[in-house]
């Protein structure tokens, strides 16, 4: 590490400077700490001196008269003078040179005082040697010099003028002072060597720490620089991602809007096609109208798929979690798809493997959509053999319970390398498939996203030329209190027989319906359907006109039996118009009409005050049935 610094003079200078600072900081800390230690020691010595004086010579006597001995006063006042000045300096300016030297002098004077108080006992001289060792805690050789000078001076003065007080004899050689000083210096030498070594170690430690700090700084600077780069890159990535997401959202919104715009005229096209089919009789015309209807339906499916996908990608798709019957869902799918299979000449078999929950917590609409899509694909790509739906419960105790639907076909199969591409939008196994079988390639993509939305997954096993097995799993929700059905067979499935309506019955005969709809084509189509069912239809182009008409009819005592309210209109939309009517106390049924098909949309309509909800494109029979269900039924809002 040091070699790095020596190779760079500036770094070396920095490290040396820092090492010197650290060394000085450490020394200051040691000085202050030792100052505090000496405060304790000096106070202790002062108290000990007073106790010793009281113990040894409490009083002086003159015959029968006594008074406090001078030694006691000396211990208190002279000892206090010696003690409290250095203690004050520690409080005022701890760690300074003056404080240190005053403490050293004070310590030696304390020794002199104690020698006096003890009557010149030679044992008290050991206090000097102990004090010198203690002063070495400062790790400052100069302090020892101060202390030694004081000791030497004290011994010299007393040795010359009062030798008995320090040497225990009345007549001492002048060299004896130097002998005593020599012993003190003898100790000083050892202490100086110790201090020198200690200082060297402190310098080395400071140097080491400074080098370490500098290295850390270099590393931290490098890390910071790289982190900054990474943060910058992350920011750029985030911005790019946000842009991409925004573009994606824009695309999805555009698609959703466009799909909606296409759906509206398609509603009219398909609706009128149905009407035409009922009226035309010439074979060629019927064929032409059916072709229009077939292509219209294909286009409608395509638009629905695109709408679904764009909703999924825009994150706007929502799911319900309600109790739904597994048998009902499977029955619906089989009812719908069995006709197609029969048309191709093979059966659509159903099997239940093991116990099946009576109901699960899921979104039945989406589940149905998934199964219809996959079963539809299986039928589409199968020419001979069969298509089978196997349903089973995967109730592993370690995992959340799931319901599995296996759709097994004996169709053309899918090459292994194409399986991964199946779930990509607008992609089929290969281009020839599209040409041969048609389709948008969106079905599996949507199904996969929907399955994931329902807490499951899709997997595929396939043998080219032998067939494929699509395995769909969905979460069942908790099954704690759900009854399991054992030995479920195909006989349990109720397939729906589609009965043709009885054209002779007019379910809305003489009923007054207000149709609030801004689209002239839909006005004509829905109006025609309602009139065909026997209703008297009044048209309103927007919500405001609708409100005025409804209020006027009510005030005349002849209100409309039902209001069909489109929710998206200019001037005043269906939500605001419904709310306004309800606020004025309008209690007749209001049924919402909207191209949006989500549950949240339904709830939004109900919240606005609507009694029910019908989606576009309209199913003629369902609409009539719905309207009829509200005739003569008192409304409570």
Measured over the CA atoms of residue 330, residue 331, residue 337 and residue 343, the dihedral's sign is positive
Nearest to 433 by CA among 481, 381, 506: 381
69 binds other proteins (CB under 8 A): yes
Site membership for other proteins, residue 91 (CB under 8 A)? no
Residues 259-318 that bind other proteins (CB under 8 A): none
The yes or no reply on residue 128 touching other proteins (CB under 8 A) is no
Q: Does 501 bind other proteins (CB under 8 A)?
A: no
Interface with other proteins, residue 123, by CB under 8 A: no
Q: Which residue, 110 or 433, has its beta carbon nearer to other proteins? A: 110
Of the residues 11, 30, 78, 137, which one makes contact with other proteins according to CB under 8 A = 78
Q: Which is nearer to other proteins, 113 or 379 (CB)?
A: 113
| 31 binds other proteins, rule: CB under 8 A | no
Q: Is 137 in the site for other proteins (CB under 8 A)?
A: no
| 160 lines the binding site for other proteins (CB under 8 A) | no
Helices 326-344 and 364-380: angle between axes, nearest 10 degrees: 20
Reported in sequence order, the residue ranges of 397-516 that DSSP labels E, i.e. its strands, are: 402-409, 457-463, 467-475, 484-485, 512-516
Per DSSP, 636 falls in state -
The residues near 382 (Cβ < 8 Å, ≥ 6 apart) are 344, 346, 409, 410, 411, 412, 467
Q: Binding segment for other proteins among 108-116, 367-375, 433-441, 553-561 (CB under 8 A)?
A: 108-116
Residue 89 or residue 488: which is nearer to other proteins going by CB?
Answer: 89
Nearer to other proteins by Cβ, of 112 and 540: the residue is: 112
Residue 68 or residue 395: which is nearer to other proteins going by CB? 68
Cα gap 628→625, rounded to integer Å: 5
Nearer to other proteins, 78 or 419 (CB): 78
Q: Which stretch binds other proteins (CB under 8 A): 114-122, 264-272, 477-485, 504-512?
A: 114-122
Candidate segments 85-93, 408-416, 521-529, 611-619, binder of other proteins by CB under 8 A? 85-93
Binding other proteins (rule: CB under 8 A), the pick from 61, 281, 556, 585 is 61
Among 126, 162, 190, 437, the residue binding other proteins under the rule CB under 8 A is 162
The rounded distance, in Å, linking the Cα atoms of 162 and 169 is 9
* Contact status: 171 vs other proteins (CB under 8 A): yes
Q: Which of 15, 82, 191, 195 binds other proteins (CB under 8 A)?
A: 82
Residue of 5, 138, 167, 470 interacting with other proteins (CB under 8 A): 167
d(CA 139, CA 12): 27
**Which of 7, 170, 491, 505: binder of other proteins (CB under 8 A)?**
170
Beta strand 387-394 with 402-409 is antiparallel
Calpha distance 86→80 (Å, rounded):
10
Q: Shortest distance, CB of residue 194 to other proteins, whole angstroms?
A: 28
Among 89, 268, 530, 547, binds other proteins (CB under 8 A): 89
CA pair distance 319, 525, nearest whole angstrom: 31
The nearest distance, CB 48 to other proteins, in angstroms, is: 18
Beta-strand runs (E) in 569-628: 590-594, 612-615
Residues 87 and 40: their CA atoms lie apart, in Å, by 9
- Look at residues 164, 46, 68, 161 and name the one whose alpha carbon lies nearest to residue 116: 164
Rule CB under 8 A: say whether 93 interacts with other proteins: yes
Residue 557 binds to other proteins (criterion: CB under 8 A): no
Nearest to 566 by CA among 508, 510, 526, 509: 526
Binding string, 38-57, against other proteins, x = CB under 8 A? ------------------xx
Q: Is 343 in the site for other proteins (CB under 8 A)?
A: no
Segment interacting with other proteins (CB under 8 A) among 64-72, 249-257, 282-290, 366-374: 64-72
109 binds other proteins (CB under 8 A): yes
Among 64, 498, 500, 505, binds other proteins (CB under 8 A): 64
Please identify which residue in the block is written with the tokens 């007393």.
158
- The single residue listed with the structure tokens 């319906």 is 513
* Contacts for 100 with CB less than 8 Å, ≥ 6 apart: 31, 34, 35, 138, 140, 142, 143
d(C-alpha 81, C-alpha 567), whole Å: 101
- Considering only 65, 343, 431, 497, the residue that binds other proteins (CB under 8 A) is 65
Q: Where does this chain touch other proteins (CB under 8 A) — which range of 16-24, 36-44, 102-110, 235-243?
A: 102-110
Q: How far apart, in whole angstroms, are the C-alpha atoms of residue 271 and residue 525?
A: 7
Output the 3-class SS for 120-137. CCHHHHHHHHHHHHHHHH
Closer of 72 and 333 to other proteins (Cβ):
72
DSSP 481: T
Q: Candidates 32, 76, 85, 528: give the one binding other proteins (CB under 8 A).
A: 85
- The greatest distance separating any two alpha carbons of the chain, rounded to the nearest whole angstrom, comes to 161
Among 32, 68, 165, 365, binds other proteins (CB under 8 A): 165
Q: Which of 18, 100, 116, 139 binds other proteins (CB under 8 A)?
A: 116
Q: Does 24 bind other proteins (CB under 8 A)?
A: no
Q: Decide if residue 181 touches other proteins (CB under 8 A).
A: no
Do strands 402-409 and 467-475 pair parallel, antiparallel, or not at all (unpaired)? antiparallel
Instruction: List the one residue out of 378, 270, 262, 371 whose CA is nearest residue 327.
Output: 371
Q: Name which of 105 and 533 has its Cβ closer to other proteins.
A: 105
Residue 367 binding other proteins, by CB under 8 A: no
CA distance 341 to 347: 6
Using only C-alpha atoms, the chain has a radius of gyration, in whole angstroms, of 52
In DSSP terms, 594 is beta-bridged to 615
* List of residues contacting other proteins (CB under 8 A): 56-66, 69-71, 74, 77-78, 81-82, 85, 89, 93, 98, 102, 105, 109, 112-113, 116, 119-120, 162, 164-165, 167-171
């Amino acid at each position: 590490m040091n070699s790095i610094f020596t190779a760079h003079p500036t770094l070396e200078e920095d490290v040396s400077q820092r090492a010197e600072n650290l060394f000085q900081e450490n020394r200051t800390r040691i000085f202050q700490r030792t100052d505090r230690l000496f405060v304790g020691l000096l106070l202790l010595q002062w108290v000990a001196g007073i106790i010793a004086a009281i113990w040894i010579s409490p009083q002086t006597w003159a015959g029968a008269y006594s008074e406090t001995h001078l030694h006691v006063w000396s211990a208190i006042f002279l000892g206090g003078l010696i003690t409290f000045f250095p203690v004050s300096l520690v409080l005022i300016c701890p760690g300074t040179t003056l404080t240190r030297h005053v403490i050293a002098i004070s310590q030696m004077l304390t020794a002199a005082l104690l020698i006096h108080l003890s009557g010149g006992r030679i044992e008290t001289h050991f206090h000097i040697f102990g004090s010198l060792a203690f002063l070495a805690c400062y790790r400052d050789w100069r302090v020892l010099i101060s202390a030694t000078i004081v000791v030497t001076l004290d011994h010299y003065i007393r040795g010359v003028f009062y030798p008995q007080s320090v040497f225990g004899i009345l007549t001492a050689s002048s060299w004896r002072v130097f002998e005593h000083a020599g012993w003190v210096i003898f100790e000083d030498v050892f202490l100086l060597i110790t201090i020198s070594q200690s200082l060297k170690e402190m310098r080395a430690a400071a140097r080491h720490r400074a080098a370490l700090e500098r290295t850390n700084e270099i590393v931290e600077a490098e890390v910071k620089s790289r982190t900054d780069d990474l943060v910058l890159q992350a920011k750029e990535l985030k911005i790019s991602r946000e842009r991409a997401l925004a573009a994606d959202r824009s695309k999805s919104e555009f698609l959703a809007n466009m799909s909606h715009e296409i759906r509206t005229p398609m509603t009219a096209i398909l609706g009128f096609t149905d009407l035409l089919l009922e009226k035309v009789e010439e074979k060629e015309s019927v064929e032409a109208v059916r072709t229009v209807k077939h292509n219209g339906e294909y286009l409608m499916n395509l638009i629905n798929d695109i709408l679904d996908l764009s909703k999924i990608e825009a994150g706007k798709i929502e799911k319900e979690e309600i109790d739904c019957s597994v048998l009902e869902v499977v029955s619906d799918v089989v009812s719908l798809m069995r006709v197609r299979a029969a048309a191709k000449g093979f059966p659509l078999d159903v099997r239940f493997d093991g116990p099946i929950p009576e109901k699960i917590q899921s979104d039945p609409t989406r589940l149905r959509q998934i199964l219809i899509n996959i079963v539809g694909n299986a039928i589409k790509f199968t020419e001979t053999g069969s298509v089978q739906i196997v349903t089973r419960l995967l109730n592993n105790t370690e995992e959340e319970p799931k319901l599995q639907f296996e759709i097994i076909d004996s169709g053309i199969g899918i090459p292994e390398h194409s399986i991964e591409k199946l779930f990509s939008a607008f992609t089929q196994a290969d281009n020839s498939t599209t040409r041969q079988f048609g389709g948008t390639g969106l079905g599996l993509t949507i199904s996969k996203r929907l399955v994931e939305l329902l807490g499951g997954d899709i997997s595929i096993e396939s043998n080219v030329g032998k067939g494929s097995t699509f395995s769909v799993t969905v979460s069942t929700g908790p099954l704690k209190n759900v009854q399991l059905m054992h030995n479920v067979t195909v006989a349990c499935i109720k397939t729906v027989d589609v009965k043709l309506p009885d054209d002779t019955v007019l379910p809305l005969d003489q009923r007054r319906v207000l149709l609030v709809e801004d689209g002239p084509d839909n006005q004509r189509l829905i109006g025609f359907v309602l009139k065909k069912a026997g209703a008297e239809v009044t048209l309103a182009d927007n919500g405001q006109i609708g409100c005025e008409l409804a209020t006027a009819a009510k005030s005349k005592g002849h209100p409309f039996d039902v209001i069909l309210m489109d929710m998206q209109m200019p001037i005043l939309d269906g939500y605001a118009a419904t709310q306004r009517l309800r606020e004025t106390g309008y209690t007749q049924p209001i049924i919402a009409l909207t191209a949006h098909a989500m549950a949240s949309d339904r709830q939004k309509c109900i919240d606005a005050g609507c009694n029910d909800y019908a989606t576009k494109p309209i199913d003629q029979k369902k609409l009539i049935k719905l309207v009829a269900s509200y005739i003569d039924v008192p409304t409570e809002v």
